[in-house]
Chain A
Amino acid sequence: MGEVIVITSGKGGVGKTTTTANLGTGLCLLGKKVALLDTDIGLRNLDVVMGLENRIVYDLVDVVEGVCRIKQALIKDKRYDGLYLLPAAQTRDKNSVTPNQMLKLCDDLREEFDYIIVDCPAGIEQGFKNAIAGADRAIVITTPEVSAVRDADRIIGLLEANEIRKPLLLINRVRPVMVKKGDMMSIEDIIDILAIDLIGVVPDDENIIISTNRGEPAVTEDKSLAGQAYRNVAKRIMGEEVPLIDLSGQDGFLAKVKKLFGFRSA
């Protein structure tokens, strides 16, 4: 029986879709059979982040309405064995699906897959209720900013009210140089405030943008720091204990240039 994990945040644009793509692909690289579920009906994005936008025939709404079978709507990612995407409908709205239908869909997918990763839309309305309906676990994404952390706190309360206990925290877009200067809240600061367990810390990394441009998740790139962070998140989800990567000294343009020159002249 597979496990359904919803990726949520409250505030928009903090990295839910990026995390869904990278965690899902990361779990697949560890040998698991994974379905990615885009529940952002009307604003689908997971397909383009995964580079699978040209292969969509049916979508999630078609499945719940019985227009097609689940198997027909699941897009097989040919690059990674065992990775599938169920895209959201683009021309419908969030009310086209009910929480009960989502619950049923998740239960059906559980039979076939080890992990079902659900990309939740921003907000706390119908789309959120749909996305969490079938979830066993939740990962709450925040960035180190006041508004994102505040919304994360609200989401944590709502998840617990909906019987999704012990949500896990992923802090995205951390900039160590700013943290060091005292101009960005640190990991400790955020955990202190939200008081939930940490599943990972992902640095702000231009590789995310580059890989999103290409439609290939950064988790597949050895050299990407964000990719490494997501590989660790995938391992932790599977129960492995992995220390946080040391982000200090890794970032900063100058530090990189210095490193490069040091290497060349040596």
Chain B
Amino acid sequence: MFDLFSRLTRRRTSKDVAKERLKLVLIHDRANVSPQFLEMVKGEIIKVIQHYMEIDEDALDIQITKTESEDGEGIVPALVASIPIRGVKNSGK
């Protein structure tokens, strides 16, 4: 409770804003600089999910975007994946 209070009253200084924007932009920069990066992540995700489901690999889409953070602290980066499911395997039980 007290923690929440101090959080709400703390002024968000311009350097806080600068730091937050920088972190976000660098996540994009770093991911884009190496085009293999997202491909590698994609490959690993497919491997894991295939244990449990049959998915449409070609239609799998993964990107880095932003989203409002849960605690209302501002915008945070997010990895969003859209993975079409063809069927669920029975072996997971």
Contact = CB atoms under 8 A, between A and B. Distances in A.
Interface string B43-71: 00000000000000000000000000000
Interface in A142-184: 145-146, 149-150, 153-154, 157, 179, 181-184
Nearest to A182: B13
A150 B15 CA distance: 15
Contacts of B73: none
Given A153-B30, A157-B30, A182 B25 contact: no
Interface residues of B, number: 15
Contacts of A154: 29, 33
Contacts of A179: 15
Interface of B: 11, 13-16, 18-19, 21-23, 25-26, 29-30, 33
Contacts of B13: 181-183
B33 A146 contact: no
A146 B18 contact: yes
Contacts of B14: 182-183
A193 to B, nearest CB: 6
Contact of A193 (B11, B16, B26, B33): B26
B26 A150 contact: yes
Contacts of B23: 193
A189 interface: yes
B19 A189 contact: yes
A98 interface: no
Contacts of B29: 150, 153-154
Interface in A183-221: 183-186, 189, 193
Contacts of A184: 15
Nearest to B25: A150
A146 B24 CA distance: 11
